[in-house]
């Protein structure tokens, strides 16, 4: 259904933008807030099959909240997991900041 796609596009934009604005050296309370957000998000995301698979992913790959780049790469891996499931091309996670924070250089 198209709204799962529009919801997904908008949500990935929000999630990758949160990674882009997350500190390079977050405090303990910022780290615990982000971890809580990811876990609550995985319970509340209004595409239930999507949310269930995302919770499974979180159980397998513990969210890395100790720095911006670690979280951005973890999130990129989560997005690639969905890309693989849907037969979409995988994204090169070494370039997540170019796409979501600094802008493409070429
Ligand atoms: P999207 O996948 O929405 O990506 C948007 C943009 O992000 C792309 O154009 C690209 O520039 C960039 N991008 C792509 N991959 C990455 C990456 N790995 N890291 C960083 N940037 C990237 N849909 C389903 O049908 N079934 C599901 O089970 C499902 N689970 C989902 C789980 C979550 C948590 C979310 C947020 C979405 C889920 N979706 C699911 C929606 C799906 O991922 C897509 O958002 C939707 O199919 C629209 O795809 P799109 O091709 O427009 O690009």
> What average pLDDT does this structure show over 41-61?
97
Mutate to test the pocket of ligand 1, among 12, 42, 61, 77 (most ligand atoms within 8 A of CB): 12
For residue 71, what are the contacts with CB-CB under 8 A and spacing of at least 6?
19, 22, 34, 63, 64, 65
Q: Report pTM.
A: 0.96
Q: How far is the CA of 30 from the centre of ligand 1 (A)?
A: 26
C-alpha dihedral sign at 85, 103, 100, 70: positive
Render pLDDT for 2-49 as a digit per residue (tens, 0 to 9): 699 999 999 999 999 999 999 999 999 999 999 999 999 999 999 999
3-state secondary structure of 68: helix
Task: Say if ligand 1 is within 6 A of residue 91 CB.
Answer: yes
């Amino acid at each position: 259904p198209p709204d799962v796609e529009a919801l997904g596009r908008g949500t990935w934009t929000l999630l990758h933008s949160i990674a882009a604005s997350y500190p390079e050296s977050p405090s303990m309370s910022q780290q615990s807030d982000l971890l809580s957000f990811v876990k609550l998000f995985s319970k509340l995301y209004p595409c239930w099959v999507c949310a269930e698979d995302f919770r499974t992913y979180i159980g397998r790959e513990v969210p890395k909240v100790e720095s911006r780049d670690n979280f951005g790469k973890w999130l990129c891996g989560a997005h690639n997991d969905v890309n693989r499931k849907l037969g979409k091309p995988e994204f090169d996670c070494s370039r997540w900041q170019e796409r979501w924070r600094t802008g493409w250089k070429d």
